[in-house]
Homo-oligomer: A and B are copies of this chain.
Amino acid sequence: MFLRNSWYVAGWSHHVEPGALVARTILGERIILYRTSTGKVTALEDRCCHRFAPLSRGRLEGDDIRCMYHGIKFSAEGRCVEIPAQDQIPPGLKVRSYPVVEKDRWVWVWMGAAAAADASLIPTALNHDHPDYHMRTGEMAYEANYQLVHDNLLDLTHLAFVHEKTLGATGDRLWSTVQPMVMALERGVRISRWFPGRSRPRYVNLPAEPSDTWNTFDFVVPGVFLLRSSGHPMGTADAFPEGPDDSLAPRWVVLTSQAVTPCSERKTLYYYSACQRASHADDSFMAIQLGLFQVAFAEDKSMIEAQQGVIDETPGRSLTTLQFDRSITHFRRLMARLMREEQPTPAATAAAE
């Protein structure tokens, strides 16, 4: 089950090169992406309405796309504009077109009713295009349901165990011992904590010097993770227990934005950035950060896919919820409510019949 009235990341902007046909499956729907001559990204149903050949095996002709089974051609809006050897085009012959917005170097596709598309609902990635920051990108596929990926991101306790040699290599299981502050957001949850007196991340190009580290992330609908980590002089944690004031100049700032996109019930795509202030990063340090992310996310993938395997083998058994699962529970409830709300009400269904 998926939330349909939402924007999903269909790829990085650089995935959709001019002239290329890019096939994606999102919420179980096959979609094809391409750029028209103006550079705007088009998203169409990847299925010719005639005999269901995939348009991703078709050919771009100007801004149109031609199915290469029997030659039927569609405009960038999905309208049939040519049928070989047939003068009349049946009115209404078309493939579905999806609203697209390109923002923060991500291609966002609206999977619900086109009329309901509201660009203001697109979460804002953290400084993907900011001139003072360096950014690297990655992506990965999980053979697992998107909810397990959400759960994983919502509870960073697992850094102390899954990532004990990578992202959570603190030597003292730090991530499982310092409990965070949890704050409900309108469309998600904010989770923040101080780690006083810690060393800087090893991919930050600054002298070693203990900092009070502030770590805060938002996890928002439909599955976007926005994390900011910053280092401050010792004592800041005590002075600002609720988090650093905007007026403070942190020693270093590291960001990552991550988007979880369900392909199907058992396949999920995952797009992530590694991002930090240019003042304390160069190519080699960015490569270290991105490499660390790649290794760590492969650790997640291995664990989550194993977990999915066990879940699928034991249907009808319920997971146990512990204290540190509260943000998971909060977000699962929020998603469930939004999915419920987008179901037609009995009254609306009756009226439509």
Is there an interface contact between B69 and A176, defined as CB atoms closer than 8 Å? no
- Chain B contacts of A161 at CB under 8 A? 66-71
- A305–B157 alpha-carbon span in the complex (Å): 45
- Chain B contacts of A352 at CB under 8 A? none
Instruction: Name which of A104-112, A239-247, A288-296, A307-315 contacts chain B.
Output: A307-315
A317 at the interface (CB under 8 A from B): yes
CB distance from A240 to the nearest CB of B (A): 23
* A307-B51 in contact given A84-B157, A177-B84, A320-B93 (Cβ < 8 Å): yes
A57 at the interface (CB under 8 A from B): yes
- Chain B contacts of A86 at CB under 8 A? 322-324
Is there an interface contact between B310 and A47, defined as CB atoms closer than 8 Å? yes
Is there an interface contact between B173 and A71, defined as CB atoms closer than 8 Å? yes
CB distance from A321 to the nearest CB of B (A): 8
- A151–B52 alpha-carbon span in the complex (Å): 13
Is there an interface contact between B162 and A68, defined as CB atoms closer than 8 Å? yes
- Chain B contacts of A320 at CB under 8 A? 49-51, 90, 93
A287 at the interface (CB under 8 A from B): no
A15 at the interface (CB under 8 A from B): no
CB distance from A191 to the nearest CB of B (A): 14
- Chain B contacts of A319 at CB under 8 A? 50-52
CB distance from A198 to the nearest CB of B (A): 17
Q: Which residue of B lies closest to A49 (CB)?
A: B320
Is there an interface contact between B310 and A57, defined as CB atoms closer than 8 Å? no
- A157–B302 alpha-carbon span in the complex (Å): 47
- A46–B314 alpha-carbon span in the complex (Å): 11
- Chain B contacts of A179 at CB under 8 A? 85
Residue from B90, B157, B309 within 8 A of A71 (CB atoms): B157
- Chain B contacts of A90 at CB under 8 A? 320, 322
CB distance from A322 to the nearest CB of B (A): 6
A187 at the interface (CB under 8 A from B): no
A17-58 vs B: 1/0 string, CB under 8 Å? 000000000001010000000000000001101111110010
- Chain B contacts of A324 at CB under 8 A? 70, 84-86
A169 at the interface (CB under 8 A from B): no
Q: Taking beta carbons and an 8 Å cutoff, which residues of A are in contact with B?
A: 28, 30, 46-47, 49-54, 57, 66-72, 83-86, 90, 93, 151, 155, 157-158, 160-162, 164, 173, 176-177, 179, 302-303, 306-307, 309-311, 313-314, 317, 319-320, 322-324
11 extra A-B contacts, CB within 8 A, seeds A53-B307, A57-B302, A83-B323 = A50-B322, A53-B303, A69-B303, A71-B160, A71-B161, A72-B322, A85-B157, A85-B176, A85-B324, A86-B322, A90-B322
